[in-house]
Structure 1
Amino acid sequence: MSETAIDYAAVFRALPALVALLTPELTYADVNDEFVRASGRPREELVGRYLFDVFPDNPNDPAATGSRNLRASLERVLATGERDTMALQRYDVESLERPGEWEERYWSPVNAAVEGPDGRVDLLLHRVEEVTELIRAHGEPAEGRTRVLEAELYMRARELQEVNERLRQAHAREREVALALQRAMLPAPRPVGNHRTAVRYRPATGALNVCGDWYDLIELPGDRIGVSVGDVVGHGLEAAGVMGQLRSALSAASRVAEGPAQALEVLDRYAHFVDGAESTTALTAVIDWDRGWITYSSAGHPPPALLRGDGTVEFLDRATDPPLDAHAEPTARPQATLGFTGGDTLVLYTDGLVERRRRDIDTGLAALAASLTRHRDAAPGALADAILRDLLPPQGVTDDTALVVVRL
């Protein structure tokens, strides 16, 4: 059978598992026949309706978490484009025959992204296996080893739910500690000389992903400032500790080094002796208003963007080298210089702003350039906020984002 002869709509309807297609707004776009049968809802009561209007949590159970867990999973898929397999969920459903009565149901969901030609998530595929009948068998008179195994499965499912909840609470606590640690180590927004700047930091959506990124702005002799950004490969509290050490070391090196390349060379040697610092990316630049120059050097970091007064955007990518501690021996790093004029804007950032899984980074860089051009007349703070609105999905992303804007 040729591919063009396959009726994919008929295949979708006939799938033996419960399958629904959801829009990014979490309304039902379509459901297959098995979903209609198992849910007990006719198709016209599903398609076009908001998922959690159709299936809210049981209001009689204050401990119900089904809708919260499902919403979090779907939002992760929207933000990352990655498939998310959920743990077994208890998610009660209101009886259609007896309104106000809720039936105890157990589901094993998998959520996946359906991307359009532009790489954006157009639909969410929500596949569910229902195991309610198997779980209900627990507590009935035992009928041989099958009942024993079913009861054991029930207990294991209950234990897994409890473990998942404890892990969720532990991750939430770690996130709070990690963010507090990062706030203590990153410099507070403040004026740098007489120059207009703005900094923004957006943490990752997951506790285990937070706290690998940093930024820094320092005053240098003459009408100069140093600006840097970096990204530690690890995540969580360990990455936050490494980040603090590297940021402080680069800040100190930048004050005495002859230029950005030499500052990165010092940081490179320092990173060799810091556990967890390998493969960290960093970029540092010196802005000299007396000469009208930007001098920069990059250790594997995404290129800064220079927004010209006429709205054109140039990426500073002529001094890029591997990340920290990539060389077996101390190695000289490249450095480049270019001129600027009053009214230009320099933008430094970490990869959480432009990189997405299954999307070429050039797509993210093009989106950044378009955003800069569109908002070129905005003040640094307003420009930073506009960039984040344009490039970060509202559900958040799985990597930190640091952003520095300097009006030249």
Structure 2
Amino acid sequence: MQEKIKAFMDEVRSRNGHEPEFLQAVQEVADTVIPYIADNEIYNGKNILLRMVEPERLISFRVAWVDDDGEIHVNRGYRIQMNSAIGPYKGGLRFHPTVNASILKFLAFEQVFKNSLTTLPMGGGKGGSDFDPKGKSDDEVMRFCHAFMAELFRHIGPFTDIPAGDIGVGAREIGFLFGMYKRIQNEFTGVLTGKGLSWGGSKIRPEATGYGTVYFAQDMLLTKNDDIDGKTVVISGSGNVAQYAAEKTLQLGGKVVTLSDSGGYIYDKKGIDEEKLAFVMDLKNNKRGRISEYVDQYPSAEYHKGKTPWEVPCDIALPCATQNELNGEDATTLIKNGCICVAEGANMPSTLDAVHTFQDAKILFAPGKASNAGGVATSGLEMSQNSLRISWTREEVDERLKGIMKDIHDSCIEHGIEADGYCNYVKGANIAGFVKVADAMLAQGVI
């Protein structure tokens, strides 16, 4: 079996050898899905996984825009339309200096499985630009977004490809992007999700990824007759996902002690309560400040510059920042310090070494394609509301989100239980996500 996996990865590497993040994502899937394919005749010999790792369409384009001083800047825009076997492409747009084809391909590949797990009719895609919104005025961000959409519009649509937000793309950016799309196409459609509530957005959408991650962690703990109440929780990041993961953790009785950004992390041994979290939300969302400013407001807290929070003892770890932020050494430290549960709020925040370390220790570990699927699930609910021209209440959306996360958890259990009773959530998520897409691809023929 290892020879089959190696041969597959050698072929993928020959085409994508300069894309390490993409190869990492494919390797994780191949390790669990290829043995499943070999054991199931319906999939064997059809090269389904090889077709799934090749994007249906990879679009790259120039984005020229003018800053407040009249200087012209040029960035690169992308849209990766990975797989549309079960529905139109769905996935976020990321504006960040680190964006490149490798990162977006790994995100799009993960998105295929994530969207499949939600059971909603959505294919997988991802896009973005190496543009950095930080330090830019609202007018500069608007001009960039309008220039970006002036090219992207020809490749998307409510029945073709429905982008959403991601890192660097929040309500402000979605508004500017939607405004330009509406102007060019002369129509008001649900072509973007993450919209404002007054113009087609869904309640709970900003909270959904963070809430969903915590719901998934709670479901994992329930398999051990345990829950979040009274647990110490370490969270990385301080953006949208981390903020709402912290909020839901507090609502379920957990104690959040860390948040972070690219500069370092804060540790508050007294716990980040509702008042302190409200300060962080205002600091990051409105003032666009740094997490280090937290200790100016709350001097009893500590700021650790240039470090990640995985050295802090905890019961639960929620990596909610970015890819590969948690390595094998970090995983060993977390386990040594008593961590019993890890649920990924970001996309692929744990390296392969870290994942294997968690699994070898038999602790509860959920990959992002399962535990952070709440965001895209609620985007799917927003699409439904747009199509039906209705608006569900906050309570209705939250209940639907909670139900979707439980269904994803149950699918992981179905395909992930091993001989010793341990649930390999990575295996379970990969196989459950693969089966739905693979069945659709087989039904549609070689396309």
- TM-score interval (norm. to shorter): under 0.3
Bigger relative contact order, structure 1 or 2 (CA pairs below 8 A, ≥6 apart): 2
The structure richer in helix per residue is 2
The structure richer in strand per residue is 1
TM-score, normalised to structure 1, is 0.25
